[in-house]
A = this chain, B = another copy of it.
Amino acid sequence: MPPTKASEYDVEVLYDVPRIEEKLIIRALTNLGIKPKLTPVKDTPLVFKESAPSVCIVRPMSMYRAAYSAAVRESSGSFTINSSEAIIACGDKVLTLSKLASAGLRIPKSVVALTIQSAEEAYKSIGLPLVDKPPIGGWGRLVSLVSDETAYRSLLEHREMMTSQQLKTHIIQEYIKTPGRDVRVIVLDNEVLGAMYRYKQENEWRSNVALGAKAIGFKPDEELAEICIKAANAIKGVFVSVDVLESDGYFLNEVNGVPEFKAFIEATKRNVAADLAKYVIKVLKR
């Protein structure tokens, strides 16, 4: 018995906390004549192999909620944007770095330490300042810039108290000195939709918009466009945002498999939701 898909809806939008992005996607689909099924994944049992829409747009903010929603729909034969594989490859930064590096892309010097002992060892080889982050977590959470040994010891002790092996794992990276900003590029269906700088807020070394960073659009050069498309392919994502650090050239750093794009639209004037809706039509017509 092969998986089946058959539903009164052609398209589904799965979400946990509805944001402006989800509203824009639904409106863009409606503008093209598609009425999507709206599925709040926190309230909805997700049944393997039950009939499902042809295309499922996976939007939960929580990484595992997104990945699991996608995985269940894939068991029904639906096309998921993004696939559970891509969501997990983006959501777990050890996997992201592995896939980016395997594709020949340049990443910051990075070490994985599975225990506090190993982290102390790794710290010596990377030197200060360094960046320490766990594999999972978004919006810059727990991503730490470490400048002195006392602070690092304290950080290591704190992480050791966490329960999950993922949060006990350290990704330790050289600190890439950037011009006070990082670069975010959105890729859809092997095409770059645009690029923006995120300028860090004073008193904050991270450039997450959630942490007060300012977004300004710019036209990406050819090299940047090319490596971002390669990055999207490396993690098998059809609709992703790619985070790039500039220093002496570009470093690929993170990829987001359930991309936010409110600030991106404001900065670049590119109607990302409309692009996504057009892509859905293209998939439906295949």
Query: Contacts A65-B165, A150-B145 known; A72 to B45 CB distance under 8 Å?
Result: no
Of B45, B144, B146, B162, the residue contacting A113 (CB under 8 A) is B45
A203 to chain B minimum Cβ distance, whole angstroms, is 7
Interface residues on A, range: 35 or more
Residue of A77, A119, A158 with most partner-chain B CB within 10 A = A158
Which residues of B are found within 8 Å of A167, using beta-carbon distances? 161
A40 to chain B minimum Cβ distance, whole angstroms, is 10
Q: Quick check: A62 and B165 within 8 Å, CB to CB?
A: yes
Interface stretch (choices A93-101, A180-188, A217-225, A276-284): A93-101
Query: How far apart sit A163 and B164, CA to CA, in the bound complex (Å)?
Result: 8
Residue of A74, A75, A106 with most partner-chain B CB within 10 A = A75
- Binary per-residue interface labels of chain A (177-209) against chain B in the complex, 1 for a CB within 8 Å, 0 otherwise: 000000000000000000000000001110000
- Binary per-residue interface labels of chain A (64-107) against chain B in the complex, 1 for a CB within 8 Å, 0 otherwise: 11011101101101000000110010000011011001101011
Query: Contacts A43-B118, A141-B157 known; A203 to B112 CB distance under 8 Å?
Result: no
Q: Which residue of B lies closest to A62 (CB)?
A: B165
Q: Quick check: B46 and A112 within 8 Å, CB to CB?
A: yes
A78 to chain B minimum Cβ distance, whole angstroms, is 10
Q: Quick check: B3 and A102 within 8 Å, CB to CB?
A: yes
A169 touches B (CB below 8 Å): yes
Q: Quick check: A114 and B41 within 8 Å, CB to CB?
A: yes
Query: How far apart sit A172 and B47, CA to CA, in the bound complex (Å)?
Result: 10
A7 to chain B minimum Cβ distance, whole angstroms, is 17
Q: Quick check: B125 and A102 within 8 Å, CB to CB?
A: no
Interface residues of A in 134-182 (CB under 8 A from B): 135, 141-142, 144-151, 153-155, 157-159, 161-167, 169, 172
Q: Quick check: A44 and B118 within 8 Å, CB to CB?
A: yes
Q: Quick check: B102 and A77 within 8 Å, CB to CB?
A: yes
Interface contacts beyond A72-B98, A146-B151: sample of 8 additional A-B pairs, CB < 8 Å, sorted by A: A3-B104, A43-B115, A48-B97, A64-B166, A75-B97, A84-B95, A85-B85, A147-B148
